[in-house]
Amino acid sequence: MKTIKGPALFLAQFAGDAAPFNSWKSITRWAADCGYAGVQVPSWDGRLFDLEKAAASRDYCDEVKGIAAEAGLAVTELSTHLQGQLVAVHPAYDTAFDGFAAPAVRGNPKARAEWAVDQVKKALTASRNLGLSAHATFSGALAWPYVYPWPQRPAGLIEEAFDELARRWRPILDHAEEMGVDVCYEIHPGEDLHDGASYEMFLDRVKGHARACMLYDPSHYVLQHLDYLEHIDIYHDRIRMFHVKDAELNPTGRQGVYGGYQSWANRAGRFRSPGDGQVDFVGIFSKLTQYGFDGWAVVEWECCLKHPEDGAREGADFVRNHIIRVTEKAFDDFADAGTDRAANRRMLGLD
């Protein structure tokens, strides 16, 4: 067993144009003041991080790490959630997702997808330059509009979508292997990889690629009514990253999992700050520790009620209080009788 690292904070929800959230130096100092030991970095946010420089220059990466270290922080991982989303986009979402892309490729799905692939590859190279071993992303989606089987899905439709998704990701995964970095797909509604079954469909098509791993976020499983503890039992050997995010599902006579098109505050299922929802984090930290997960516990603040800065400060303490420092001895060592093989045989009546 190993002790989980943390607490760390995903900075995507905090980056902004006002201090202290508008520069790498100031936001890392703020995160450290909140009680964090690490930060996960949104690679698309130029206010904090220059992806092009990071992919090309180890000196720049050393500078990034050095500024974080001055604040007492480690860089835990890079994220390409927005770019990964654009690796595969169903036409129904072209307009909605175009804003994630560079202006030069907007309105051109083929160029946008090529740009996205290049972005993720650069982030994997930058991860190597930063000395990181895992990278966070989304899979994108071609089949998501057909998640509910009505109208009846034509034979082969989903298989074709997953074949194409695997075709687009295989070169990225091969680059990840060259860089020595795991690609950790956040298993998330809106992505074709949204539960264990869909992840397995993808994994089968990339021939069990060693770098096709998981980012485990239990909040998305609560909202799907999925057994998130058994999920760890099944996929622990593929879980390389962990988002500490809470959620609650309170179905009523009017709505359930699908939410009735309501706002986040008015949905039966909604995200909450760590400790304010229904996720059994004691069980999660216990299982991840049992299976030897030694990555970072990263708070991802998404709450429809609580102020983000309060959620961030509370989240640091919440994670720290849940990390299990693993034992170096058995609790019943005091009763060790000091037997040997000969004594064992006598106890079994074999001598």
Closest C-alpha among 214, 191, 78, 212 to residue 138: 191
Closest C-alpha among 33, 37, 61 to residue 49: 61
φ/ψ bin of 210: left (φ > 0), alpha (ψ from -120 to 50), beta (otherwise): alpha
| Residue with the two structure tokens 């469909």 | 201
153: domain range?
5-347
C-alpha–C-alpha distance, residues 302 and 245, integer Å: 7
- The rounded Cα 328 to chain-centroid distance in angstroms is 29
CATH code of 252's domain: 3.20.20.150
Residue 231 contacts residue 288 (beta carbons within 8 Å)? no
Per-residue pLDDT of the chain (351 residues; tens, 9 = 90+): 899 999 999 999 999 999 999 999 999 999 999 999 999 999 999 999 999 999 999 999 999 999 999 999 999 999 999 999 999 999 999 999 999 999 999 999 999 999 999 999 999 999 999 999 999 999 999 999 999 999 999 999 999 999 999 999 999 999 999 999 999 999 999 999 999 999 999 999 999 999 999 999 999 999 999 999 999 999 999 999 999 999 999 999 999 999 999 999 999 999 999 999 999 999 999 999 999 999 999 999 999 999 999 999 999 999 999 999 998 777 666 667 677 888 888 889 997
244 bridge partner residues: 299
The structural domain count of the chain equals 1
Residue 210 contacts residue 245 (beta carbons within 8 Å)? no
Listed in order, strand segments (DSSP E) in the chain are 5-10, 38-42, 74-80, 134-137, 182-186, 212-216, 239-244, 246-249, 269-272, 296-299
SS3 category, 66: helix
At what angle are helices 157-179 and 109-130 packed, to 10 degrees? 30
pLDDT of 328? 79
Please state whether the peptide bond connecting residue 154 to the residue before it is cis, i.e. omega within 30 degrees of 0: no
Task: Please give the single-letter amino acid code of residue 330.
Answer: A
